[in-house]
């Protein structure tokens, strides 16, 4: 069985990123994968800000990444880059935490103006953590994720097709 760690880097509980997360989880269901979630927002802020490497929450999150064969990174774009909360967590991963792992970045942003955030902001940090197999990922405009009731979302058909293509590529690695 393949282990997949999903790192969610949004500080907002009600982010449209949840629509992408739900799609990914539904896609992975029944695909002979074990999925572990690292929701950075659930890690105590003090542990993140003060870099408490010995924090039980940090140790548990890092163990999920360590045990993963595949890693999905989900983040919204804030100020032309991934979120600060995600960066704070990535700084607490061991230096070579992503060696021999296939990484899939999935990003949501407000405009096409931030389309290159994956290549110019996210990939360099992942490379510094030892990642050498980073898939192209998917950049989604927030208008392509419709907010429904009960924290549910509907994605544009084109977005679903792109996500399915990237997720299929991920689990084939």
- Strand 145-147 with 153-155, pairing: antiparallel
Helix, strand or coil for residue 59?
helix
Rounded Cα–Cα distance for residues 152 and 14 (Å): 10
How is residue 78 annotated by DSSP?
Answer: B
DSSP-assigned states of every residue in 37-52 = EEEGGGS-HHHHHTT-
Tokens for 162, please give them: 């792109």
pTM of the model: 0.96
Rounded Cα–Cα distance for residues 155 and 143 (Å): 9
Helix, strand or coil for residue 93?
coil
Rounded Cα–Cα distance for residues 137 and 163 (Å): 8
Closest CA to 132 of 102, 105, 89, 93: 102
Residue in the structure block whose two tokens are 């039980």:
56
The tens-digit pLDDT sequence of the chain (173 residues) is 999 999 999 999 999 999 999 999 999 999 999 999 999 999 999 999 999 999 999 999 999 999 999 999 999 999 889 999 999 999 999 999 999 999 999 999 999 889 899 999 999 999 999 999 999 999 999 999 999 988 899 999 999 999 999 999 999 98
**Residues with Cβ < 8 Å from 136, sequence gap 6 or more?**
118, 166
């Amino acid at each position: 069985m393949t282990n997949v760690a999903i790192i969610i880097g949004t500080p907002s509980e009600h982010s449209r990123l949840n629509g992408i997360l739900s799609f990914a989880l539904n896609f992975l269901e029944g695909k002979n994968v074990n999925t572990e979630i690292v929701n950075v927002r659930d890690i105590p802020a003090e542990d993140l800000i003060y870099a408490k490497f010995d924090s039980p929450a940090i140790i548990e999150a890092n163990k999920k990444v360590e045990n993963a064969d595949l890693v999905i990174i989900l983040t919204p774009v804030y100020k032309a880059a991934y979120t600060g909360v995600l960066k704070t967590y990535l700084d607490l991963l061991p230096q070579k935490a992503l060696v021999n792992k296939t990484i899939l970045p999935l990003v949501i942003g407000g405009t096409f103006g931030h389309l290159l955030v994956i290549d110019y902001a996210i990939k360099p940090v992942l490379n510094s953590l030892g990642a050498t197999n980073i898939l192209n990922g998917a950049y989604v405009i927030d208008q392509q994720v419709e907010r429904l009731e009960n924290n549910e979302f509907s994605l544009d058909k084109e977005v679903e097709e792109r996500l399915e293509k990237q997720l299929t590529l991920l689990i084939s690695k």
